[in-house]
Structure 1
Amino acid sequence: MSDSDPPASGVRVPWSEVHPAVREAVGEFLGGSVAEAVTQTSGFSPAAAVRLRTAGGRRAFVKAVGPEPNADSVRIYRSEAEIAAALPASVPAPRLLTSFEIEGWVTLVFEDIDGHHPAMPWRRDELDRVLGAVERMSAALTPAPIAAPPITERYAAAFHGWRDLLTDDTTGLDPWALRHLAALAELESGWAGAAAGDTLVHTDLRADNVLLTADRVYVVDWPWACVGVAWLDRACLLPSVGMQGGPPPHELLPDPDPAVTAVVAALAGYLVRQGRRPDPPGLPTVRAFQRAQGVVAVEWLKRRTGWA
């Protein structure tokens, strides 16, 4: 990761700007007035993400989002609340203490984890810890211990990037991708069968969704959880690892299985297509981050296909 790489952060809502009824309800749940509120800057959501301490010393991590500026965030937080409440204790995720909706705001209150995100650029020792935790998590979540949609349903519209680009303006598209666009669209079309499985997968793993403590690796932010193939989370993580100074994806997932190639094609098509779209309301940094991941994913795909 260089100084020019886009950060995994957006525009957070300060605790003081959260709806007063939400702040009051959080204080009541925690049993005391909030004495300290420290905003956490990582992540793209235009919401409050705050580590709180009450006057009595109780701590919690609170996420809260209102209908403005991005109404989709409300739906995403509802999904996260549902998934987080159902996750078994064996999952290395912070426990959801409560969630509620007031005045159009969705609020989630989690246990506060005194941890840190992996260093950027990636350090190999921390990367190995995270990859090991992902492997253990995938094994523990097979078969899926909770009800969640299949990945073919969750990502049916998203993993359509190369096929969308067949009819989009392709100005500025990577020359290799433009030359092979029809073949990439065909390769991508096989992703659903390749990604099917019986593992509960996170599907949005990045460094900003990981917390490290002295002895544990926690995976946070589960709104996109679904059921798919066990190696999917590793595959989803690797484009961001490569663009944030870590090893290239082909070194970390060398499996030559054509199913992996089909999923990599879908990931690359998604990142490239999304990176060409306008910024969503309230998320001014997410497209740059997707574009940077897309560059890494396309290089990975070039290597996997061997196409000149």
Structure 2
Amino acid sequence: MSTPPATGVRMPWQDVHPGVRAAVEDFLGAPVARVVTQDGGFSPGAAVRLVTGDGRRAFVKAVGPEPNPDAAGIYRAEAANAAALPASVPAPRLLTSFDLDGWVALVFEDVEGRHPATPWRRGELDLVLAAVRRMGAALTPSPVEVPSIEERFDDSFRGWRRLLGEDTAGLDPWALRHLAALAELEAGWAGAAAGDTLLHADLRADNLLVAGDRVYVVDWPWACRGAAWFDVLAMLPSVAMQGGPPPQEVLPDPCSGITAVVAALAGYFVRQSRQPGPPGLPTLRAFQHAQGVAALEWLRHRTGWD
């Protein structure tokens, strides 16, 4: 199986703003002696595991205004959300953050873990799904103030409605045949996904770490409040495209509201994959296309439309 990797162009630690590197070393209390770049994740910044001369360890993310002008804002949102997460959340603790000359750096505790294997192994997937569901139960009601899921994704989840007025050359024939109905179905997603659970809202294998029988959830810039089942639903297209079971096997819920959310998710992936690639993220559109194919197949299954 060949699937596009979830990766940006990782910046070497030595290319990070020298003031940021100095601030990190000052915080850690000793010069950095060893640096290991971590692959995976859609970011054009540095992502490194650091070890200081006196043995202190940390995981550090840092990004500047280039090559992607949106990345620093995403890191600022992640810093705010990570700082507010309660200790009950299975996430590495944010130790500190820095904002200097347009650069943003986040310093986390270093967790000894790895991303889930892909193609997905069923035992590991079951471990992750159980952890995500426990997390959702523990975070209902949301213990922190974050936007609602509608506020967070209202502009994004309009893919089919936007395609009604755009060039549809090359669009999947089934989607093109049902485009008006998909746009109408998608329009009901926000009411269906409303809720008071604190959601990660961007779960994929590259945002998860497995350490023995523990699962850590990393990268929280898109945190919001919504239905407890949303995090599982939103990760299933990536699970399917990375060799896991089809979404309907994992989440067979017949609720019509879930179908509207699947429609919104599929519309987002399909339309986004047709846009120009953002700077510093060379595999993002291919990854979104593969997610869109899986989400569209799930949507066909749920609607039963021929």
2:200 corresponds to: 202
TM-score, with structure 1 as normaliser: 0.99
Give how far 1:43 is off. Answer: 0.5
Question: Contact conserved, 2:127 with 2:213, CA < 8 A, in 1?
Answer: no
Within the candidate set 79, 83, 87, 2:81 is matched to: 83
Aligned to 2:43: 45
Aligned to 1:20: 18
Deviations 1:173-214 (A, max 9, x none): 000000000000000000010010000111100000000001
Large movers: runs of 4+ above 4 Å: none
Q: How far apart, CA to CA, are the structure 2 residues paired with 1:195 and 1:100?
A: 34
Report the secondary structure of 1:262's partner residue.
helix
SS in 2 for 1:200: strand
Please state how far the C-alpha of 1:275 moved relative to its aligned partner: 0.5
Aligned pair count reads 306
Tell me which of 152, 155, 158 is aligned to 1:157: 155
- Any residues of structure 2 matched to 1:209-248 within 5 Å, and which? 209-248=207-246
Distance 2:171 2:239 in 1: 23
Equivalent-residue separation in structure 2 for 1:186 and 1:173 (angstroms)? 18
Distance in 2 between the 1:25 and 1:216 partners? 31
Query: 1:181 and 2:160 equivalent?
Result: no
The two structures, once aligned, show a CA RMSD in angstroms of 0.6
**Structure 2 residue identity aligned to 1:176:** W
**1:70-120 CA-partner distances (Å, limit 9, x unpaired):** 111111000000000000000000000001101210010000001011111
How far apart in 2 are the matches of 1:100 and 1:143? Answer: 30
Deviation, 1:171, is 0.7
CA distance in 2, matches of 1:77, 1:128: 30
1:141-192 per-position Cα deviation (integer Å, ceiling 9, x unaligned): 1000000000100001000000010011111100000000000000000001
Q: In the aligned structure 2, how far is the partner of 1:64 from the partner of 1:57?
A: 21
Identity across matched positions, percent: 71
Residues 269 and 288, structure 2, Cα contact 8 Å, conserved in 1: yes
**AA partner of residue 291 (structure 1):** H
SS at match of 2:74: helix
Counterpart code for 1:182: A
Q: Which segments of 5 or more consecutive residues in structure 2 lack a partner in the other structure?
A: none
Residue matched to 1:103: 101
**Structure 1 residue 215: Cα displacement:** 3.0
Q: 1:142 aligns with which of 134, 140, 143?
A: 140
1:249-269 CA-to-partner distances (Å, cap 9, x unmatched) read 000000010110000000000
1:262 alignment partner in structure 2: 260
Distance 2:24 2:301 in 1: 50
